[in-house]
Amino acid sequence: MTKIFETPLYPYTRCADQDAAAPARHKVVVIGAGPIGLALAIDLAQQGVAVTVLDENDKVSWGSRAICFAKRPLEILDRLGCGQRITDKGVVWNLGKVFFDERKVYEFNLLPEGGHKRPAFINLQQYYLEQYLVERALEIGRDTGLLELRGGNKVSAVTPHGDGVELTVETPEGPYRIETDWLVACDGAGSPTRAMLGLDFLGRVFEDNFLIADVVMKADFPTERWFWFDPPFNRGQSALLHRQPDDVWRIDLQLGWDIDREAEKDPARIAPKLKAMLGEDVDYELEWVSIYTFQCRRMEKFRHGRVIFAGDSAHQVSPFGARGANSGLQDTDNLAWKLKLVLDGTAPEALLDSYDAERVFAADENILNSSRSTDFITPKSQASRVFRDAVLELAEHHAFARPLVNSGRLSLPATYDGSPLNGPDCAAMPARSRPGAPASDAPVAGGWLIDRLGNRFQLLTIDVEAPETLVIDGIAVERVALSAGDDPSGALAARYLGEAKSAVYLMRPDQHVAARWEAFDAGEVTKALRIATARGKTRGRG
Amino acid sequence: MSETTKETGLRLAPNIADPDGFYAELIALHEGLPREDSEALNARLVLVLANHVGDREVLRAAFAAARLQGPPTT
């Protein structure tokens, strides 16, 4: 059987730009057709912005790579038109078990809050995510003519000018040049774009190697996340077993720092470890083996004039806690609508500085969480190891120690507290939906709240009269009118009203809250919309 | 009570009844243990006590006191 990652999905074809007398001018060029570049391109095209994606490859990535997708990214993928397919294919899990030495010391249930369309997490190989995004991108390209995906197109030179960027692109038929108003580099942790521009990427190196293996096996392990500290089959190190679709299991074995990387990848060397871990009788096939090290680092700024960085090219975290692809998708969620308004001329370029402010804030949160998990999993000093082991010993006996066990924390979306785009708050309403927060889903009459939000500015009203559409400085704000009668479970009131009797929420196109009030006031909404599009006096940090 | 105590809520004045008895119990806890086991026991003890205290301000003050930082108690 030909695996999906062996199939060219967007093979090189010659394009008109290659025969143009002068370099063609584009609105937005995205470098990299990984999950982040594709998500951004789909988002832009859906909002009516023409976008061209360049990638030196023409296939999805090889091996499972990112495998955990959290609720918020699934909501973003819903908005991009492929969330259902991804969720249907994925494996939903809620139970995690933690082992220390030979004993199970505790288990946890994610116990996801009810009243959400999407589960807390699904497991899915990155190549499926990429396949579905490629297919969605090609579909939008066919339907709208706004999205072009160019395989076998490798960017070899990037020259920023004041009002755009000039690119040299290598192809199997030779190089060509194009210009673009905006360039978004989604070309991964090793970002050639970042290197070509000589930009920084600073942070902390973790001196450790991990063997990652995708194992195909028919085994009766439950659909749970199993994490081992110091197990007999990988003494002094950690291990992880996690289920993916198609009977593929992710196995992650910590190896330590001083190892022979090539020797460790030898299947003959891996076999005894897997037998000891999975049982002598388990038949398995190795689908993919890789050894990785990692760093937690980010660029100082994600926006450099007309060049913007998103995903791993801008920030890199350890894999513990599923914050790589998940945070990259949230970058694109944040960036797409801002680029659109700037290109439309309805918002100033300064709006893109808020992408930098908000996503640097989120990256720091992710790096903090991921560094803490890594320090717990791979203690770097004797005292750190003694306390780590003490926590694990105590966790088996006493509930108090269990919250201290850190084998990776749930990837939760950042609330952009202090963002320059945040408008007025209302103290009577729940903190979870304060300005800067992503919308909390809730069941409403006929479906889910999250499906009624996004892609444009909206006024979410609960038991408040307001105009169906407001046009403020050329930006339309559409009303989503709800009432207590739309709230069968009470979740809407609990998540949006709190102590308030009624509510007006100004929602951003990325489903984040911009401002909120108890009553509608056109002047207040106008002021808040100007703040949310970088044209007003800011309340938060500058 | 020292100023530090008032500000942070950390008790640094004597607070243990029968100090000699307590001290003997603490030492007895470690009796016969190899150094590594003693170290592990101390770590568990720190965690148990820290959870009992709970208050992060008090714990931070305790960290400082253990490092012999801050003004001495009178």
Which CATH number is A328's domain given?
Answer: 3.50.50.60
* Residue A174 domain flag: yes
CA atoms within 13 A on the CB side of A168: 7
Q: What is the pLDDT of residue B8?
A: 77
- What distance in Å separates the CA atoms of residue A422 and residue A103, rounded to the nearest whole number? 48
Q: Which residues from A are below 8 Å from B when comparing CB atoms?
A: 386-387, 389-391, 393-394, 398, 400-401, 404
**A226 vs A105, A250, A353, CA distance in Å?**
11, 11, 41
pLDDT of residue A159: 98
CATH code of the domain containing A476 = 3.40.30.120
Q: What is the DSSP letter of A135?
A: H
Whether the complex's predicted ipTM is more than 0.85 is answered with: yes
Residue of B nearest to A400 (CA): B51
* Same-domain check for residues A456 and A342: no
Q: Do B43 and A390 touch (CB under 8 A)?
A: yes
What was the pLDDT predicted at B5? 56
Residue A163, C-beta contacts closer than 8 angstroms, at least 6 positions apart = A181, A306
A340 and A446 in a single domain? The answer is no
- Among A342, A368, A394, the domain-final residue is A368
C-alpha–C-alpha distance, residues A176 and A486, integer Å: 56
Round to whole Å and give the CA distance between A47 and A60.
Answer: 25
Residue A537, pLDDT score = 65
Distance from CA of A390 to the nearest CA of B (A): 5
Length of chain B: 74
Question: How far is the C-alpha of A240 from the C-alpha of A63, rounded, in Å?
Answer: 17
Domain presence at residue A239: no
pLDDT score, position A541: 43
Residue A174 near residue A31, CB atoms below 8 Å: no
Identify whether A155 is part of a domain.
yes
Task: Give the distance, in angstroms, between the CA of residue A344 and the centroid of all CA atoms in the same chain.
Answer: 26
Q: Which of A319, A347, A368 is the last residue of a domain?
A: A368
Separation between Cα atoms, residue A225 and residue A96, nearest integer Å: 5
CB pairs under 8 A between A and B: 25
Q: Are residues A165 and A78 in the same domain?
A: yes
Task: Please give the biggest Cα pair distance in chain B.
Answer: 40
Instruction: Please name the helix (run of DSSP H) or strand (run of DSSP E) that holds residue A390, with its range, or none.
Output: helix A382-397
Q: Does residue B3 carry a pLDDT above 70?
A: no
Exposure of A402 in the CB half-sphere (CA atoms within 13 A): 14
Domain of residue A308: give its range.
4-90+124-200+296-368
Strands A469-472 and A238-244: unpaired
Q: What is the pLDDT of residue A540?
A: 46
8 Å CB contact between A378 and A326: no
CA of A381 vs chain B CAs: smallest distance (Å): 14
- Write down the pLDDT at residue B1: 42
Determine the Cα–Cα distance for residues A117 and A214; give it in Å rounded to an integer. 29
Q: Could you tell me if residue A66 is inside a domain?
A: yes
Amino acid making up residue A175: P
Integer distance in angstroms from the first to the last C-alpha of chain A?
Answer: 55
What is the C-alpha separation between A331 and A32, in angstroms, rounded? 14
- Residue A437 included in any domain: yes
Q: In angstroms, what CA-CA distances link A417 with A333, A362, A426, A539, B37?
A: 17, 10, 14, 11, 45
Flag if B44 and A390 touch (Cβ within 8 Å): yes
Q: What angle do CA A515, A71, A402 make, to 5 degrees?
A: 105
Closest alpha carbon within chain B to A403: B51
C-alpha distances in Å from residue A273, one per residue of A166, A233, A254: 51, 6, 12
Please answer whether residues A190 and A34 qualify as being in contact, where contact means their C-beta atoms are separated by less than 8 angstroms. Answer: no
> Sorting pLDDT into bands at 50, 70 and 90, what band is B6?
low
Tokens, residue A257:
């720092």
Burial of B30 (0-12, 13-18, 19+ CB in 10 A): middle
Element (H, E) at B37: helix B35-53
- Substitution target in A101, A381, A387, A392 with the highest count of B β-carbons within 10 Å is A387
Per-residue exposure over A108-124, b if at least 16 CB sit within 10 Å of its own CB, e if not: eeeeeeebbbbbbbbbb
Domain stop point among A368, A387, A404: A368
Asked whether residue A258 is assigned to any structural domain, the reply reads no
What is residue A38's predicted lDDT score, i.e. its pLDDT? 98
Question: Does A214 map to a domain?
Answer: no
Per-residue pLDDT of chain A (542 residues), as tens digits, is 467 778 999 999 999 999 999 999 999 999 999 999 999 999 999 999 999 999 999 999 888 888 999 999 999 999 999 999 999 999 998 899 999 999 999 998 887 899 999 999 999 999 999 999 999 999 999 999 999 999 999 999 999 999 999 999 999 999 999 999 999 999 999 999 999 999 999 998 888 899 999 999 988 888 899 999 999 999 999 999 999 999 999 999 999 999 999 999 999 999 998 999 998 888 999 988 999 888 899 999 999 999 999 999 999 988 887 889 999 999 999 999 999 999 999 999 999 999 999 999 999 999 999 999 999 999 989 999 999 999 999 999 999 999 999 998 888 999 999 999 999 999 999 999 999 999 999 999 889 999 999 999 999 999 999 999 999 999 999 999 999 888 989 999 999 999 999 999 999 999 999 999 999 999 999 999 999 999 986 544 43
Total structural domains within chain A: 2
* Domain-wise residue ranges, chain B: 3-66
The full length of chain A comes to 542
Q: How many angstroms from the chain centroid is the CA of residue A159?
A: 28
- Between chains, do A401 and B39 touch, taking CB under 8 Å as contact? no
For residues A62 and A324, what is the distance between their CA atoms, to the nearest angstrom?
A: 17
CB atoms closer than 10 angstroms to residue A157: 12
Q: Are A28 and A51 in contact (CB under 8 A)?
A: yes
Which residues of A are less than 8 Å from B43 in CB distance?
Answer: 386-387, 389-390
Do the Cβ atoms of A401 and B40 come within 8 Å? no
* Predicted local confidence at residue A174, as pLDDT: 97
